[in-house]
Amino acid sequence: MMEDHRSADETNENSVKTSQQEREQEEELQRLLVPDIHDLPLTPPSAVQSNFVSYFAPDFIKPGHDQYVYRHANGLCVIGLAPTHVAFKDEGGVTAVDFNVGKSDRSGMKVTGKRKKNAQHFESNTALCKVCTKDASYIVRCCVKGSLLEVNDRLIKQPGLLNSSSDREGYIAIIMPKPADWLKFKVSLLGLEEYKKLREV
Amino acid sequence: MPDETEAPQVLNDQEEAHISSDAGDDEKQVFSDAVRQLPPHAVKDLLSVGVCTRCILRLFGIRGKIYPSSSLSPSILCAVLGEPTNADKHMVENGVQTNEGSGSHHASKELDVEPVFCSICLGILQFIYRDDKGMLVKKNSANNLAASIAELVKREGHHIDNFSLEVSIPPIVLENEHAVWLYMKRKYGSECWFGEKFHSDHISAKDALKNSIASPIETLLDVQSGLSSFRIRLTYSHTKASKMIQNFIQGIEGCKRRKQGTDDVFNTVDGSVVAGVECPDFSSSEADAVIQGSFNALQDHEYSERFKFPPEKVNEPCCLTSLCYRTPIYFGGRYLKYSRNVSQTRWIIDDERMGEASVEEILGSNILSMCQGDNYKFHAAGREDIDVRMLGSGRPFLVEIQNARHVPSEAFIKEIEVKINNLENKLVRVKNLKVVGSQGWTLMREGEAEKQKQYTALVWISRQLEDADMQTVSSLKEMRILQRTPIRVLHRRSPLEREKIIHWMKIERIAGSSQYFLLHLCTQAGTYIKEFVHGDLGRTHPSIGSILGCRVEILQLDVTDVKMDCFLTE
């Protein structure tokens, strides 16, 4: 029973009514909140699956450099390493990630404001970072032409995220392409099913 | 209609008589006595330079109920003063027959003389003006002007109990008045009645007009005048006169540099005055004050130099725009949203509506039609996504109704509430609907950012739920999290990292499932709950996923409490 928060001046009748109203409110709430488990799927779709469309760029520039592009309904693209990327084939997997490639350290840039004015504009083949394994290192590129909004700087301290969850917490960067650029680029990408077939996954 | 355009006509005596019965014989006697006290030579002087009767009376501070009733021709003045009516040749009140009797003989002669506009009030207090279409209108009396205003109110469909009258007149009228005062001061300054009666007692043109028409409007509409949300606004404007002021101001500009003080204020008024916009008659009559200030700043002789007296003959009356409207009414209350397909506000992308309906439109349109207003504005204390339900005690909101024709009673408001709550698809519910004053706004905005919100989320995890998990989650109090701007809003928001506080959390098992459960939590306002649950690719940390060490997905979210004090009662 919830407490009546009103002043002591309220009549008994009003107090009772309020408590009753509150009780009814509680009951209604309970009824509404608890779902019918028969309506629930065994395994629900993931947040990525629900909110993004997944595309793949196999052999991007170099053979074996398979990358993914998750596109959100709002136009933003999350770039990352697809599970068949050659870096994962090396023993021990990814050991380090370095954003200091090309002309600047990508992890140092700061984008501010709604208009994202000082974001750097990158081409599709611009280097985002270098991913190192025990034996080799691989360049990860933008994939889609656009403004770089963010890089996943957590990878600096936790490069293992690429090994455990490259499709989620191990993403590389977030790019904002112009609508026209996206349309041009989209045609060269594969959907999930096509990609799986290609790589026989 | 007992008014005229262009040609003088006889009044509708019936109507006039009815209203002017307010001015009983006592009033007339008091009036006559007051008029007899006036210095006759000064009055004649004023008449001869084209000042209308009402302006003369108000300059001398003569008040009383006599103002509303019928027109006052100069012949009354002269008859009472016992002077021959030289003034008839120069000045005429638009061919009116009076009920006074004594002046009517002279009045008939006036019909032959062309009407002139008062050199001070430009015809305002003679009830002559040009309407919106440019037609010359002569109302002859305050009662007739009041009648057309009353008709306007009825035509607009307003139901009122009271009204507030606002009048705005062109600054040139003040100029003219000041020039007259200076003239009188020069000529009669030494006489005993000057200074005693004159100027200190004087009634402004605005007040005189208001006093004239307020009570006939009251009578015609059976309402009270005074403080009210229903405004009747009369705006007089004069284009030609403002050019005179422009010259005047330019003349002042020269000597202004030598003076102190009113620089900035005067400058800002310049633009509006020159553009022919008259000073508004609201609480902040800055323009009036500025003009008054400029009178004070200028030496009398400088003023008289620039502003000739008698002033150039005025050939045009003012334009009058009358409008009536009600100030916005605010309805406050709380709403609940039961649907996962209803947005809070109207949401249209590329001509297509998102969702089935919106809370804004359901509440706004129903309240609007009950009040018969022009349009509505919806404000709420925070918001929820289209797929998130708003339950519990509801979310505080305000609906602002503009220019309502009806102010609904409490019972009527209850009806609106019941109607909304019984709409066919029961998408939205409203509670505690009532009219709130302007404080409703501050109540809602107050501490909006500090208030806590309570949620229930339907959550799935990629492993079995253990009792230890429930313990872990319950033990976390006032936990700080860092949220980067969620990817789903990053396209239109600044990329920032925001610290938020999760006040408490509780897991409730769902019978029959080991991986689904209900998560109840209470967080700081502004926390992105969905991202806190699934982690947003690690960009919200900690998250439920990082706390439980597995993949977590959120299927549904409901707001169960918006912890604010406002609109909790009927």
Chain B residues with CB-CB distance to A113 below 8 A: 494
**B239 Cβ partners below 8 Å, 6+ apart?**
B276, B319
Q: What is the pLDDT of residue A180?
A: 94
Asked if the model's pLDDT at residue B263 lies above 80, the reply is: no
Asked if the model's pLDDT at residue B294 lies above 90, the reply is: no
pLDDT band at B251 (very low <50, low <70, confident <90, very high): low
A 47-76: CB under 8 A from B: 47-48, 51, 72, 74-76
Strands of A127-133's sheet, edge to edge?
A94-98, A127-133, A137-141
Q: What is the pLDDT of residue B153?
A: 94
pLDDT band at B295 (very low <50, low <70, confident <90, very high): low
pLDDT band at B79 (very low <50, low <70, confident <90, very high): low
pLDDT digits 0-9 by tens, B421-459: 998 788 999 999 999 987 888 888 876 767 899 999 999
Strands B162-168 and B230-237: parallel
Query: Any bridge partners for residue B556, and if so which?
Result: B458
Q: What is the pLDDT of residue B308?
A: 64
Asked if the model's pLDDT at residue B277 lies above 50, the reply is: no
Nearest by CB to residue A37, choosing from B490, B494, B510, is B510
Asked if the model's pLDDT at residue B100 lies above 50, the reply is: no
Q: Which of B273, B292, B291, B120 is nearest to B209 (CA)?
A: B120
Secondary structure class of B395 (helix, strand, coil): strand
Q: Do A40 and B488 touch (CB under 8 A)?
A: no
Q: What is the pLDDT of residue B279?
A: 35
Asked if the model's pLDDT at residue B274 lies above 60, the reply is: no
Asked if the model's pLDDT at residue B132 lies above 60, the reply is: yes
Nearest by CB to residue B558, choosing from A33, A43, A78, is A33
- Residue A129 tokens read as 């970072």
Asked if the model's pLDDT at residue B46 lies above 60, the reply is: yes
Q: What is the pLDDT of residue B418?
A: 93
What average pLDDT does this structure show over A121-137? 92
- Of B57-66, B189-198, B516-525, which gets the smallest average pLDDT? B189-198
Q: What is the pLDDT of residue B275?
A: 34
Q: What is the pLDDT of residue B24?
A: 63
Q: Do B516 and A111 touch (CB under 8 A)?
A: no
Nearest by CB to residue A47, choosing from B391, B518, B534, is B534
The CATH topology of domain A47-199 is OB fold (Dihydrolipoamide Acetyltransferase, E2P) (2.40.50)
Chain B residues with CB-CB distance to A37 below 8 A: 510-513, 516
Asked if the model's pLDDT at residue B230 lies above 90, the reply is: yes
Q: What is the pLDDT of residue B260?
A: 47
pLDDT band at B272 (very low <50, low <70, confident <90, very high): very low
What average pLDDT does this structure show over A101-115? 82
Q: In angstroms, rounded to a whole number, what is the distance separating the alpha carbons of residues B275 and B249?
A: 13
Q: What is the pLDDT of residue B489?
A: 93
Q: Do A40 and B551 touch (CB under 8 A)?
A: no
Asked if the model's pLDDT at residue B88 lies above 50, the reply is: no
Asked if the model's pLDDT at residue B22 lies above 70, the reply is: no
Q: What is the pLDDT of residue A152?
A: 94
| B248 vs B466, residue with greater confidence | B466
Nearest by CB to residue A78, choosing from B487, B491, B534, is B487
Q: From the centroid of its chain, how far is CA B194?
A: 40
Q: From the centroid of its chain, how far is CA B58?
A: 29
DSSP element (H, E) containing B215 = helix B205-221
Q: What is the pLDDT of residue B61?
A: 81
pLDDT digits 0-9 by tens, A38-50: 888 989 999 888 9
- Of A183-187, B53-57, B338-342, which gets the smallest average pLDDT? B53-57
Asked if the model's pLDDT at residue B114 lies above 70, the reply is: no
In this prediction the pTM is 0.76
Q: Which residue of A has its CA nearest to B545?
A: A169
Residue type at A66 in one-letter notation: D
B 487-546: CB under 8 A from A: 487-495, 510-513, 516, 518, 530, 534-538
Chain B residues with CB-CB distance to A74 below 8 A: 488-492
Q: Which of B100, B7, B148, B116 is nearest to B51 (CA)?
A: B116
What average pLDDT does this structure show over B554-569? 88
Looking at every residue in chain A, the average pLDDT score rounds to 87
Q: What is the pLDDT of residue A55?
A: 95
| Count of CB atoms situated within 10 Å of the CB of B466 | 11
B 74-133: CB under 8 A from A: none
Q: What is the pLDDT of residue A160?
A: 93
Catalytic residues of B, by residue number, are 385
Q: What is the pLDDT of residue B292?
A: 62
Asked if the model's pLDDT at residue B267 lies above 90, the reply is: no
pLDDT band at B316 (very low <50, low <70, confident <90, very high): confident
pLDDT digits 0-9 by tens, B332-375: 999 999 999 999 999 988 888 888 999 999 999 999 999 999 99
pLDDT band at A129 (very low <50, low <70, confident <90, very high): very high
Q: Do A44 and B393 touch (CB under 8 A)?
A: no
Q: Do B511 and A37 touch (CB under 8 A)?
A: yes
Asked if the model's pLDDT at residue B150 lies above 90, the reply is: yes
Asked if the model's pLDDT at residue B180 lies above 70, the reply is: yes
The ranges assigned to domains in chain A are 2-39, 47-199
ipTM: 0.88
A 117-146: CB under 8 A from B: none
Q: Whose structure tokens read 């009271």?
A: B162
| B65 vs B222, residue with greater confidence | B222
What average pLDDT does this structure show over A146-153? 93
Asked if the model's pLDDT at residue B139 lies above 70, the reply is: yes
Mutate to test the interface with A, among B454, B459, B490 (most CBs of A within 10 A): B490
Q: Do A76 and B535 touch (CB under 8 A)?
A: no
- Of A174-188, B27-41, B77-91, B544-558, which gets the smallest average pLDDT? B77-91
| Count of CB atoms situated within 10 Å of the CB of B121 | 29
Nearest by CB to residue B487, choosing from A28, A29, A76, is A76
Q: What is the pLDDT of residue B388?
A: 96
Q: Do A33 and B551 touch (CB under 8 A)?
A: no
- Of B107-116, B121-130, B352-361, which gets the smallest average pLDDT? B107-116
Q: Which residue of A has its CA nearest to B530?
A: A47
For residue B316, give the DSSP letter. -
Q: Whose structure tokens read 């000057």?
A: B194
For residue B537, give the DSSP letter. G
Å from A77 to nearest chain B CA? 9
- Of B97-106, B245-254, B465-474, which gets the smallest average pLDDT? B97-106
Q: From the centroid of its chain, how far is CA B22?
A: 32
Nearest by CB to residue A112, choosing from B495, B518, B537, is B495
Q: What is the DSSP string of B440-462?
A: HHHHHHTTTTT-EEEEEEEEEES
Q: What is the pLDDT of residue B444?
A: 82
pLDDT band at B471 (very low <50, low <70, confident <90, very high): very high
Q: What is the pLDDT of residue A15?
A: 52
Asked if the model's pLDDT at residue A13 lies above 70, the reply is: no
For residue B4, give the DSSP letter. B
Q: What is the pLDDT of residue B166?
A: 93
Asked if the model's pLDDT at residue A27 lies above 50, the reply is: yes
A168 and chain B in contact, CB less than 8 A: yes
Q: A178, A122 in Cβ contact below 8 A? A: no
